[in-house]
Amino acid sequence: MAQGDKRWIGARRRRVTLGGRDVITEGLSDHVWTDFYHRAMTTSWPVFFASSLSVFLTLNLVFACIYWLGATPVSNARPGNLADLFFFSVETLATVGYGDMHPQSLYAHVVATAEIFIGMTLIAVMTGLIFARFSRPQARFLFARKIVIGTLDSAPALMVRLANARGNTVTEAYARLWLLVTERTAEGGRYRRFRELTLERSENPIFALSWTIFHKIDATSPLAGASADSLAAQDSLLLLTVTGYDDQSTQDLKARMTYSHADIAWRHRYRDMVTLNHGNTHIDFTRMHDVVPDENDLTL
């Protein structure tokens, strides 16, 4: 096999969604044990418990078969009855030991010793994984489905609205916005460029309800002179990252949202969510994603 044709053993295709697009990667090793901890932490809860149950049942069946190879290894177990040996294995692996069945030969004691060691290890691993999954910080930030480009202080601006779905206090919230474009070099190569968009107010000392971030499109902006067609030609994406400190869980929170160039509503603005009712401020989150045409004439 030539060096240029060499492939990773076990390499598989993988589909990733980025900015509403499906990106297919291939050529990377994708074995189960390649990154076991990451898989265990990122898989869904139903898959996590189903996988754990499958491993538990399979391991007990294997040990039941090992016990079955011995000559009357377990007392009070019916001779040749695999079901009795399976449930004895369950008791041993879980370190329960009800007492009605126990090893009665050297062979069974050796197998039980190995099974107890494996059971203690698995219990420790499962306890750690479940605790890590429950305790990891989860940000419940809502991002508007559309980015809008409208008028702000008589100048064009790009705006993104987000909200804290928990309604608690996130202090020292910080947002960064990046424009990703595909550009060609003088030599004809294609490169993905990251250009940070300067925000009018990138920090929010107390992020509790809603927050709209702004990027003014002036002569120094990477979006100066941009249009829907030019951003589409560059296969543009917008990446928004938000970090903050959750006062209740005392954890650092991180969240991100990726927008495609098709998610930009040109010459629009967000529908106002805040109203005053008898001196009380009322925020209607059902309007979170609503955009309306900008009545101001805007020319980029």
Q: Residue 223 in contact with residue 158, Cβ under 8 Å?
A: yes
- Specify if 181 maps to a domain: yes
Q: Given this model, what pLDDT does residue 9 score?
A: 43
Any idea of the CA torsion for 22, 26, 30, 34, to the nearest 10 degrees? -100
171 with 54, same domain? no
Which of 23-32, 71-80, 265-274 is least confident? Answer: 23-32
188 with 269, same domain? yes
Q: Which domain holds residue 87?
A: 43-135
- Specify if 111 maps to a domain: yes
Smallest CA-to-CA distance from 28 within 45, 16, 46, 40 is with 16
What's the whole-number average pLDDT of the chain? 86
- Specify if 6 maps to a domain: no
- Specify if 38 maps to a domain: no
pLDDT tier, 137 (very low <50, low <70, confident <90, very high otherwise): confident
199 with 252, same domain? yes
- Specify if 36 maps to a domain: no
CATH of the domain at 83: 1.10.287.70
Smallest CA-to-CA distance from 163 within 138, 140, 137 is with 140
- Specify if 270 maps to a domain: yes
pLDDT tier, 22 (very low <50, low <70, confident <90, very high otherwise): low
End-to-end CA distance of the chain: 55
CATH of the domain at 250: 2.60.40.1400
Radius of gyration of the chain measured on its C-alpha atoms: 29
Of 82, 108, 135, which marks where a domain is finished? Answer: 135
Residues 6+ apart with CB under 8 A from 24: 13, 14, 15, 16
How many domains does the chain fold into? 2
Q: Given this model, what pLDDT does residue 188 score?
A: 75
Q: Residue 246 in contact with residue 168, Cβ under 8 Å?
A: yes
Q: Residue 276 in contact with residue 175, Cβ under 8 Å?
A: no
Of 135, 155, 188, which marks where a domain is finished? Answer: 135
Inter-CA distances, 129 with 18, 36, 38, 188, 265, Å? 28, 11, 10, 48, 42
- Specify if 16 maps to a domain: no
79 with 147, same domain? no
Residue range 99-126, pLDDT digits in tens: 889 999 999 999 999 999 999 999 999 9
- Specify if 102 maps to a domain: yes
121 with 207, same domain? no
Q: Residue 149 in contact with residue 217, Cβ under 8 Å?
A: yes
Of 85, 110, 135, which marks where a domain is finished? Answer: 135
More confident residue, 171 or 25: 171
199 with 283, same domain? yes
283 with 166, same domain? yes
Q: Given this model, what pLDDT does residue 19 score?
A: 55
160 with 271, same domain? yes
